[in-house]
A = this chain, B = another copy of it.
Amino acid sequence: MLVKVFVTLKEGVLDPQGKAVENSLHSLGFGGVKEVRVGKYLELSLDVAEAEDAEQQARRMCEKLLANPVIENYRFEVTG
């Protein structure tokens, strides 16, 4: 099973990396860009047969390691 995980900063959490990207985009002439937020995107392969098991494991992985639940949200997709 392929699992795609998206980790984003929660609303209200400062994102200096996003701000830096936004400023650089403005400098490059993309004046219409606002509210850049930078997160993480992970792909991993899971050796389980059932999508349900994969979802359960993915949720635990996010809670234990992949996301910091204090400042980050996560979501994931499990595909064939």
Decide if A80 is an interface residue (CB 8 Å cutoff). Answer: no
Question: Taking A39-B41, A41-B6 as contacts, is the C-beta distance between A65 and B32 under 8 angstroms?
Answer: no
Residue-wise, chain A 27-68 has the 8 Å CB interface mask toward B (1 for contact) of: 010101111111111111111100000000100110011100
Per the bound structure, the CA–CA distance linking A46 and B36 in Å amounts to: 9
Partner of A44, one of B36, B42, B43, B57: B36
Asked if A21 contacts B42 (CB within 8 A), the reply is yes
Partner of A37, one of B30, B39, B42, B46: B42
- A residues adjacent to B (C-beta < 8 A): 6-8, 18, 21-22, 24-25, 28, 30, 32-48, 57, 60-61, 64-66
